[in-house]
Amino acid sequence: MQVIDSHTEGEPTRVIVSGGPDLGSGSLAERAKILATEHKDFYRSVVSEPYGQEAMVGVILVEPVDPECVAGVIYFDAAAVIGMCGHGTIGVAATLAHMGKIGIGTHKIETPVGVVEVTLSDANTVTVKNVASRRLQKDVRLEIDGVGTVSGDIAYGGNWFFIVDKSPVPVIPSNIRNLTEVSIKIREAIETKQLTGTDGGIIDHVVLYGPALSKNGHSRNFVLCPDNAYDRSPCGTGSSARLACLAADNRLAPSEEIIQESTIGSSYRLSYQPSTSDTIIPNITGQAFITKEATLMMNPSDPLKNGIKLS
């Protein structure tokens, strides 16, 4: 299996260029469902240790249905097949440029949740025009053991998020363990209360916000992903969901650009344009760097070929 690895603002992406499973020729959503239901061991093995690494997101390049798109993509991490991935899309654009498939300019990429646009400014800098994003509920209150009452918004940016504007734990690098534990408790409380997005969408990402630690930053976030790893980047789909909340509260004007810091201090430039009465179109700019071209070999006799699983 041929793969190209990259990182986007610190968050790793592994693009499967060839050798992945046959997912048929249906819609991207249908092919993503086949990956999720019939090839779980495969996708876990690609991004999990010992073949992958913590926090890695995988991408399968497939033929798009929309002829205007340069590629179709399906995203996954160690826990789930996911609808959209902002940092992964930036990584895909840089990878396609590295392969000579696209050049400087704007291109369309098809995802399971819709078509997005990527604008390649140079070999590393990419702006993603994401799918329409919105806030579903405001100020949802949860009681968290050992923490107290936490209030957050339920919002969509390609995935469903629970967004806590004022983190109960300071969002600083030395607090990563505490931030992770609190975020897991919040997600468990969401599951207990059976909170969902539209049409039963699973809220599997939690974002905690705190003050920026740089002079030009708007805020700093901690993002818990479905596999319980934290996002090293500021999270493109999470940032999209947050932009929807800021827009709904009139806290950010259309086209006004902010700098969103990640837990580790990397950043995205963010802005949005209004769409419908309750949605916005986010723009996310970040940088991705190619780190590896490799042939991934899954030894059938390796007892850990499907990844390390801890009970």
Question: Phi/psi of residue 29, each to 5°?
Answer: -65, -40
Asked about 85 being catalytic, the answer comes back as yes
Asked about 245 being catalytic, the answer comes back as no
Cα–Cα distance for residue pair 57/226, rounded to 1 Å: 11
> What are residue 15's DSSP bridge partners?
4, 59
Question: What does the buried/exposed string (b/e) look like for 214-236 if buried means 16 or more CB atoms within 10 Å of the residue's CB?
Answer: eeebbbbbbbbbbbbbbbbbbbb
Active-site residue identified among 69, 225, 235, 245: 235
Structure tokens at 148: 């107290």
Question: What does the buried/exposed string (b/e) look like for 256-291 if buried means 16 or more CB atoms within 10 Å of the residue's CB?
Answer: eebbbbbbbebbbbbbbeebeeebbbbbbbbbbebe
Structure tokens at 64: 């798009």
Of 231, 258, 266, whose CA–CA distance to 242 is shortest? Answer: 258
Cα–Cα distance for residue pair 177/58, rounded to 1 Å: 24
How would you classify the pairing of strands 2-8 and 160-164? Answer: unpaired
Active-site residue identified among 69, 85, 225, 245: 85
Catalytic positions, please? 85, 235
